[in-house]
Amino acid sequence: MPDDEVWVAVTRARLEPLIRSLPDQLDTMVRERGNRLSGGGRQRMTVSRLMLA
């Protein structure tokens, strides 16, 4: 999947500031339970994944 499509979903899910703050942005590894994310961040990540599906 092209990065531009992923960035559109990330932006719509209001995750762009969070993703841009991560060391490797889209390539940052997030553990299975999203240990690096807050509860709201995990929810927004789920929303962005649904948009891409």
Q: Which one has a higher pLDDT value, 24 or 40? A: 24
Q: Which of 7-11, 13-17, 35-39 has the lowest mean pLDDT?
A: 35-39
Domain count, the chain: 1
pLDDT at 28 over 90: no
Look over the chain and give the mean of its residue pLDDT values, rounded to a whole number: 84
Please give the model's pTM, rounded to 2 decimal places: 0.71
Closest CA to 43 of 18, 24, 6, 23: 18
Average pLDDT over residues 29-51: 78
| pLDDT bracket for residue 20 (50, 70, 90) | very high
* Structural domain boundaries enclosing 32: 3-52
Exposed, middle or buried: residue 13 (CB in 10 Å: 0-12, 13-18, 19+)?
buried
